[in-house]
Amino acid sequence: MKYIHFNNGKGGGVASVIRNLVEYSQDSAVEHHIIYTINQEEQTEFVPTAIKGTRTVSVFYYSPKWNFFYTCEKLAELIVERDAVLIAHDWLELGMVGQLGLQNTVVMFLHGDYPYYYELAIKHSDEVNAFICVSDKIRRSLIEKLPSRLDDIHCLNFPVPDLAPSGVPKQGNSIVFIGRCETAKGYHLLPVIDDKLKATGLDFSWHIYGEASPDKNVKDGWSSSSDVHFHGLVPNSILLQELPAYDYLILPSAAEGMPVTVIEAMKAGVVPVVNQLDSGVQELTGDSERGFMVKDNAVDGYVTVLRTMSQSPDVVKEISSKASQFAREQFEPFKCTLMIQNLIGRYAAVINDRKSKKKYGSRLDQKYLPNVLVHFIRSRQQ
């Protein structure tokens, strides 16, 4: 059985899920292939990360100025087998299936509790055989929107690498942030939190893993007196080695699904302090059992949690232990990979009868129009 994973090349949690599904696969009958779909108007060069266990890796560059029918035909040429299972994580591969009427089994992952994923699932309900939701909240929300697909909407935990607390006593004052250093992830709140902590007489060391958005600098907003360390983008293997040394993970993100970084931190015994979101986050932390949620992403809320915990080392130790045990049991990589593969296997033999349906584009996106002409017209329109 051949799986073709599609990845838009933007990294993040989606890339982690694909990597782990490949690396922790133990079924020799399953071949993993990856196709990176890169918008060349946004990214002119892309170097894929090597993933152990991948049979083939392809990089497909496309332009939004192309005839979409042409784009789909060129992308479809990379499908190694007509009966391969297509594992979709974004819109382009779903658009290809609909535009060409491909008969492959299609499994779609919903990675976030965002309108984008729900709208995509609804739009491509006819093309998708099975939906895998990364949290129960997402599963319930999708069922409300697609009640007729109840039996095909599933919630499965994705694999996360094995990780355990270091066992070395911690100092109790280190905070780690992992992710893109942008407003959507709440990065701008971190210096404010630090300033308020120092105003109460508390000094924490901050460790930032990630890159800034193009128009920002990671050092923006931080006081010269802040004990902050910028690690930049590092390989996940290095991050996992360093993670157990920290005490708290802060994630003041405006929206999330089931954040991989929180699960990795919990496995390492790092206590998560996150924005209270009605998504997978609360399934991880529980009601202050395995971490803390801050209502309305309030700065004072983060300060209160960190100040209280700094005075309660025994509580922190207990929560750290519960978080690690929960995450290691629920997201055991081999078990989770097997469950996902078993589900995909149930749908792999389905016989589809799809017809070509145009769901994207304009009058220029027609099979009979040469791509050179369409590209020329669209380039002149801008």
Domains of the chain by start residue, with CATH: 2-159+334-381 (3.40.50.2000), 174-330 (3.40.50.2000)
pLDDT of residue 80: 74
Residues 59-72, mean pLDDT to the nearest whole number: 97
pLDDT of residue 90: 96
Residues 50-72, mean pLDDT to the nearest whole number: 95
CB 127 within 8 A of CB 231: no
Per the structure block, which two tokens stand in for 212?
């800034």
Compute the 3-state secondary structure of the chain and give helix, strand, coil in percent, each to the nearest 5: 40, 20, 40
- What does the pLDDT look like over 122-146, one tens digit per residue? 999 999 999 999 999 999 999 999 9
- Distance between CA atoms of residues 154 and 263, nearest Å: 20
pLDDT of residue 164: 80
Residue 213's pLDDT band (cuts 50, 70, 90): confident
What are the beta bridge partners of residue 229? 207
pLDDT of residue 190: 97
Residues 64-71, mean pLDDT to the nearest whole number: 96
pLDDT of residue 218: 87
- What does the pLDDT look like over 73-120, one tens digit per residue? 999 999 978 789 999 999 999 999 999 999 999 999 999 888 999 999
Say how many C-beta atoms besides its own lie within 10 A of residue 3's C-beta: 23
Q: Residue 288 above 70 pLDDT?
A: yes
- 3-class DSSP assignment, residue 31: strand
- 3-class DSSP assignment, residue 33: strand
Q: Residue 20 above 90 pLDDT?
A: yes
Q: Quote the percentage of the chain above a pLDDT of 70.
A: 99
- 3-class DSSP assignment, residue 30: coil
CB 257 within 8 A of CB 274: no
CB 284 within 8 A of CB 258: yes
DSSP 362: -
Could you tell me how many residues make up the chain?
382
Per the structure block, which two tokens stand in for 307?
């100040």
pLDDT of residue 165: 83
Q: Identify the CA nearest to 212 among candidates 253, 181, 252.
A: 181
Per the structure block, which two tokens stand in for 118?
């729900």
Q: Residue 169 above 70 pLDDT?
A: no
pLDDT of residue 92: 97
pLDDT of residue 374: 95
Q: What is the mean pLDDT of the chain?
A: 93
Residues 140-164, mean pLDDT to the nearest whole number: 95
pLDDT of residue 382: 65
Q: How far is CA 278 from CA 8, 68, 112, 332, 362, in A?
A: 26, 36, 11, 24, 37
